[in-house]
Amino acid sequence: MRALVVYESVYGNTRAVAEAIAEGLDGADTVAVCDATNRSLDVELLVVGGPTHMHGLSTARSRQLAAAAAQEDPDVTVEQSAMREPGLRAWLHDLPSRDGGCAAAFDTRLDKSPWLTGVAAHGIARRLRGRGYELLGSDSFLVQDSEGPLEQGELDRACHWGDALAHVVSAKSSSGVQS
């Protein structure tokens, strides 16, 4: 199955989740959103994810704040792609419409009630639907602290989520062949 996982990540946790989802999707490609502009989106499944910042999708300002916070902790590194444009918000704004294309949304966020944290995946899903995509799934993967690490078991869960999405896409395409 042709699938592409597009992610944004400042500290690397969302990238790690993206890679685990891609593994579950049987080796799909992953690409940082700043490098996704020239990628073909002619895929059977487009998976899009980013960190939850200020209750929603990141902004240029929230990414700057995240990078500045990292400078105070020598143990935290910032992804090389983190400050490059377009960020996820701008990329989704310019995403071409694809009626009936299959997509899924994910985020990373703090391990607290979603009422407190906000859920970036909701905003990603809404934007993908607005571009005509059919949403096959939306999920959050949890970090222990702002810079990470991910909660135990989250990478396995991400891999299983990718596998489950692959099954949904393949069931849809076989039912399409029969009808």
Q: How far apart are CA 136 and CA 175, in angstroms?
A: 15
Residue 148 CB, nearest approach to ligand FMN (Å): 5
Residue 11 CB, nearest approach to ligand FMN (Å): 3
How, if at all, do strands 45-51 and 3-7 pair? Answer: parallel
Interface segment toward ligand FMN; rule CB under 6 A; list 5-13, 24-32, 127-135, 170-178: 5-13
Residue 177 CB, nearest approach to ligand FMN (Å): 38
| Strand ranges for 8-166 from DSSP E | 29-32, 45-51, 102-110, 134-143
Q: Of 23, 84, 117, 132, which lies in the binding site for ligand FMN, with binding defined by CB under 6 A?
A: 117
Q: Which is nearer to ligand FMN, 12 or 132 (CB)?
A: 12
Q: How far apart are CA 89 and CA 87, in angstroms?
A: 6
Residue 146 touching ligand FMN (CB under 6 A) = yes
Q: Which is nearer to ligand FMN, 53 or 122 (CB)?
A: 53
Q: Of 76, 83, 110, 135, which lies in the binding site for ligand FMN, with binding defined by CB under 6 A?
A: 110
Q: How far apart are CA 165 and CA 50, in angstroms?
A: 18
Helix (H/G/I), strand (E/B), else coil: 100: coil
Contact criterion met (CB below 8 Å) for 124 and 50: yes
Helix (H/G/I), strand (E/B), else coil: 154: helix
Going 98 to 114 to 29 to 24, the CA torsion angle's sign is: negative
What is the contact mask toward ligand FMN in residues 43 to 82, using x (rule: CB under 6 A)? --------xxxxx------x--xx--x-------------
List residues bridging with 7 in a β-sheet: 32, 49
Interface segment toward ligand FMN; rule CB under 6 A; list 39-47, 108-116, 154-162, 164-172: 108-116
Going 161 to 50 to 39 to 104, the CA torsion angle's sign is: positive
Q: Which is nearer to ligand FMN, 3 or 119 (CB)?
A: 119
**Contact positions vs ligand FMN (CB under 6 A):** 9-14, 51-55, 62, 65-66, 69, 108-110, 117-118, 143, 146, 148
